[in-house]
Structure 1
Amino acid sequence: MGAAIYDSTADDATKIGDVKDVVLDKDGKANLIVIGVGGFLGVGEKNVAYDFSKIEWVNKKGERWLVANTTKEELQAQPNFDTKAYDTANNQPATSAATDQTATASIDKSALTDLPSEKISAANLIGTNVYGADDAKVGQIGDILTGDKKVDAIIVDVGGFLGIAEKKVAIGMENLKFMTDKNGNRYLYTNFTKDQLEAQTAYDKGTYAQNRDKQRIIVKQ
């Protein structure tokens, strides 16, 4: 989230917006990318939807750029993107008291239902508590990592206290199962223990592309 989007790979390329969100389809693949365009310091900014498959990832000036074959003016002419359809928690953050538990002993899993991927907005997953083996809380989603034409992984903050000494671990999107309760709170259950995640190679933004196989783990079915 927050990555800059340019209109071309030319040396005089213009930044046309920033990534605000990614919306998934029913198969859990990236469908739309929400771009914040215009405004100043977030004031007057407009969020519009753009076909994720038309976004290109390119290496430019030693960095990875997101490129969209469009202009700022064309984006500004698009209608505002309505995020309400993807806000299962009715605008309540996923870190509300109802989900801020160290274990799910107080959560009736039988009352939870699957959250269809087409109802998932990547930005709304940030803050979702992650549970592992024995239904113990193992961390919290801190970011969403997009790759070539897809959402590649979630970044889980593990350990630490109030954000201090947390370790960031990349978990691949494969086989992830999100659930929700009647209040719209979101839950992610995995089969990892906290010790396993703390022993995993930490996610590093600068080296992830070169060391993806080491820094990324997936849930086994």
Structure 2
Amino acid sequence: MQKKFLATASIIALMAVSPALAGTANTEDSTAKQATEQVKEGWDKTKKAVKETAEDASDATKEAYREFKAFIFSDDDGKLGVEQVQVNPRTTATGIIGEPVYNFNNERVGVVEDIILDQDGKAAMVIIGDGDFFGLGKLAAFDYNAMVEKNADGDIVMPLTEEAIERAAEFSFDRNDTGENVRMMPANAYSVEKLLDAQLVNAKGETLGEVDDIAFKSGQASQLIVGFDKILGFGGEEISLAYDDAKLVKDGDDDYKYTLSEKKSSLISNHKSLMN
């Protein structure tokens, strides 16, 4: 939706300057200069419109809570309960990764590129990129708990400066990277960006659904948001499981999956009607 807003704003602003461009093809230098100034003015308006539209769309997104059916397992009596839960998108992986980072002087200092979980599901580190285009900039790791929200807009704020990121050790996801001044991916740690590509499988390894998101609470992965019966990522249903309900296992060199026990898998399979 936000991309659509940005595209619309850009088109409108550029249409406003197009007549000026059309009339400058065979004019004298003074007319060409005037047209150039008009183009610059139009581009400034475009940037302003894009910025304002992006801010409006971002604010609207941050204020909208996502609702899910939460599956509640009871291992004692073998039953499965369902309740409605609301999740603040600002506290989810997809609501954090890709967001800009500001310091306490309201200066943009970078972008959240990833979150690193330890083996117990605790968010140990946040990976900050210095903001260069196309992901070619520097990556640095900082304590996840250093992230705070400054205001109702939900901006991610950290006590950082561009110089601090520049001085920090380069973060590498390659555990074999022995370069100078490099901070490697810790052992028994997981990239949340990778986990968002994981599948939820039953005890036999059969796919039940796909991980759409991970919600955090007090620095801990608390909920696994799973999509069921989707086609090419669309349609279907999304449900929430307690993060500890599924076991995270490695699936190949760089892939992961979440496994449910046979009992929990059977409960979900037998209660698909609860999702409708």
What is the TM-score when the length of structure 1 is the normalising length? 0.62
1:177 aligns with 2:247: yes
**Cα shift readout 1:33-79 (whole Å, capped 9, x = no counterpart):** 11111313x25322110111222234x2x332322111122112212
Query: Which structure 2 segments of 5+ residues have no match?
Result: 1-96, 177-185
Counterpart residue identity of residue 156, structure 1: V
Pick the structure with more helix per residue: 2
Structure 1 partner of 2:117: 24
1:5 aligns with 2:98: no
Q: Distance in 2 between matches of 1:15 and 1:83?
A: 24
Look up the SS of the partner of 1:63 in the other structure: coil
Within a 5 Å distance, the mapping from 1:194-213 to structure 2 comes to 196=271, 199-200=274-275
Specify which of 146, 154, 175 is matched with residue 54 of structure 1: 146
Q: Distance in 1 between matches of 2:256 and 2:115?
A: 17
CA RMSD of aligned residues (A): 3.1
Residues paired across the two proteins, number: 166
Alpha carbons of 1:142 and 1:70: their partners in 2 closer, same or farther (altered >3 Å)? same
Q: Distance in 1 between matches of 2:271 and 2:166?
A: 46
- Whether the aligned pair in 2 keeps the contact of 1:55 and 1:149 (CA below 8 Å) is no
Structure 2 partner of 1:149: 219
Q: Distance in 2 between matches of 1:44 and 1:26?
A: 29
Q: Distance in 2 between matches of 1:51 and 1:57?
A: 15
Counterpart residue identity of residue 44, structure 1: L
Alpha carbons of 1:147 and 1:76: their partners in 2 closer, same or farther (altered >3 Å)? farther
Counterpart residue identity of residue 160, structure 2: T
1:64 aligns with 2:160: no
Counterpart residue identity of residue 79, structure 1: A
1:35 aligns with 2:113: no
Look up the SS of the partner of 2:223 in the other structure: strand
Query: Which structure 1 segments of 5+ residues have no match?
Result: 87-115, 202-221
Identity of aligned residues (%): 21
Structure of greater Rg: 2
- Choose 65-74 or 181-190, whichever is displaced more: 181-190
Counterpart residue identity of residue 224, structure 2: I
- Choose 69-78 or 139-148, whichever is displaced more: 139-148
Structure 2 partner of 1:110: none
Counterpart residue identity of residue 46, structure 1: K
- Choose 28-37 or 13-22, whichever is displaced more: 13-22
Structure 2 partner of 1:77: 167
Look up the SS of the partner of 1:28 in the other structure: coil
Counterpart residue identity of residue 4, structure 1: P
- Whether the aligned pair in 2 keeps the contact of 1:155 and 1:169 (CA below 8 Å) is yes
- Whether the aligned pair in 1 keeps the contact of 2:111 and 2:131 (CA below 8 Å) is no
Alpha carbons of 1:119 and 1:56: their partners in 2 closer, same or farther (altered >3 Å)? same
